[in-house]
Structure 1
Amino acid sequence: MDSNPSDINPLNRIVWRTAISGRLERFAVLLNDPEAQKYFGEDFVTKLSAKIERLFRLILVLGAIYAILMLSLFAAQDPNKTEFQILGYSFKNLGHYKEFLLFVAALLSPISSGISAYHRYLSEIRKVALKKLFPNPQVLEFAAHIYSDGYADPLIKDSQAAHIRPHGFTVFLVAAFGIVFLAVLIALLASSFILQIAVIYDVASNPSSSPFINGFIVVFSLGAIALSWLIGLLQLPLPEVDLGAYTKLSELRQSNQQQYQETMKRLSADSARREQAWSIGSAVAIFVFTYSAIAIFLFSQVQLSLWPLLFKSIPGIAFAIIVATFVASRIKRTVYRNYFRKYPEGTDPEFNLFSRATKIIGISRLGLTFITSIAYSLMVITGR
């Protein structure tokens, strides 16, 4: 199969995708198979929507139970208040059951997060199935309300109407709504995190059970909360390395040597520019971080004023850039020379060893920059 040289992306290109992106793409391809289409029709979407609704109700119930437990534990921190009331119901002496309530709340946290992640996955599958069921986007916009809820549609004006553009006041209201909604969401996340830490700290500092049980509950709660936050982070777009360019280069090398050489020159020039910019940026970032950390750690032990300390960091930045560019380029040249000597043209068809050599160069550059920054910082700050 011939490869278009202009379509070949840089080697080891970083792309950001969610964990479910690959499965959704495979599902979209599967829907085009005539044999598989009979399994993913309207009946499939209806049953899937029913399951999504059940999961959503379960998430609401678990969230409500978790909120009640954490709020009751937060209210129990007041030693003068022995009774906690919610929705007309009174709960007395909650402080005697703090460990048990915290254990139940901590157990619910990762379970609720896992169910929420699965609910999101099924919702995305439904979106792909609906696009296949209703190929017309205009029809899909309205038919989708049979199977899913679109709460933003009543609030946002239709931008597809002919001869109409949004008024400035409307744009202002929509922007204000988005900013306020984002601020409320951030405040809820921050308050939830602070509430969790405050409750765990209170249980740890004011135990109502034996030290062994209290320590176990505290450690388990911290681990469960960290697990629930990690589940949320795993749903965000994460980096992955696109190795498709290696396959295209192998095909191009076998089909057209001239285009292969031209493509390699183009990729090398692009890679050199990006590598130089990344080397300078990483060198500055590593030196600033290292110099600041050492200065903060030794500032009370070494008699130095702030401005001379900042002034002496300027040559260090230049020194780190020189190491990251000039010295690292020498290492790069040596590694590549050894690679091409051991593996001539065509003896590494999958470019696996070339990728390993590239990683060695990157790690060497970061390591040299870090060591140089530490040495320069200690020499300047301590005066040795």
Structure 2
Amino acid sequence: MATNSAQKLALLILEDGTVFRGAAYGATGSTLGEAVFSTGMTGYQETLTDPSYAGQIVVQTAPHIGNTGVNEEDAESRKIWVAGYVVRDAARRASNWRSERTLDEELIEQGIVGIQGIDTRALTRHLRSAGSMRAGIFSADAAQRPEAELLDEVKNSVPMAGRALADSVSIDEAYTVEPKNFGWDSEPKATLVAVDLGIKSMTPERFAERGVRVHVVPASSTLEDINGYNPDGVFFSNGPGDPATADTQVQLLQSVLKQGTPFFGICFGNQLLGRALGFGTYKLPFGHRGINQPVLDKLTGKVEITAQNHGFAVDAPVEGTVQAPEAEFGTVEVSHVGLNDQVVEGLRCLDIPAFSVQYHPEAAAGPHDSAYLFDRFIDLMLEKKN
């Protein structure tokens, strides 16, 4: 059972032997995962409840965390998904009119083991140099064990490369999000099937705000399941794990593309479109996580500030138009590029109605530079529908 963590010793141990000593935060005990850092200055509750962080120990680079507490409204899914949580200065009290409880209370309630009071700037710089790696947080009684023993436990944990996690975070049963602020006597603009690979709750809401009925379905759904809704388009969401493990969803997507149904994917969905077209994927050294990632839209020449959370990327030529390795899908181009490292941030098919981006246009919390992508996909669905 979770206990009060105040002033109890905690250790963060990385697989390269680096040790950070601090105090327990949230639940006490031990936890293992991939240590990654998120550069967002706000939105810690959305980060914690983003299913894409499953299996990861998240380091917040912003020094003060927990100031505004937590509430039911801002959660992006049904629970906290991070494997562990690392902060520098945890708020001693929550101070916001929307706060319903403290972050510490929420972490304890959901059994999330964390650590506070460490130099997260030094940790982030280390992960930027050495790359994301396996780690463990050990607090209270667990922190009293020999460090060599704890390090062995970290080294024997499962690495992120090769992990299949999308099915474990997906829903078990489909649900529907109806259009918002749309006339009660009006028909939806379009019907969309969104495959939940770790979807954030704001994503179907963004479609619903634009008059689209969204059927959210499990990651295990078949083409028959999807076509049963007679959709005008199919959407693949964000999600955790290694895209190289998602063979079932890649085959499903290929079937969707072959029948000509308009497709839009974000984050994990972008990686799966890349795989469906025949491109490979690879693991980034430390990934992109936060709400301040600059991306170039090659079509317009505009720079978007985007929300991102991914540790894998598509291996495709950044310049020019190329034939998809899976030739039946025609030509494709990289539509968006990350300005920090030239990583593929979007794909656009030129011969079939499909495109994707590596980031989160629903952006809760912010920014909203990429909201136009929802309108672009709705236009694509309506064009095909009419």
TM-score of the two chains, using structure 2 as the length reference: 0.22
Structure having the higher helix fraction is 1
Bigger-Rg structure (1/2): 1
Structure having the higher strand fraction is 2
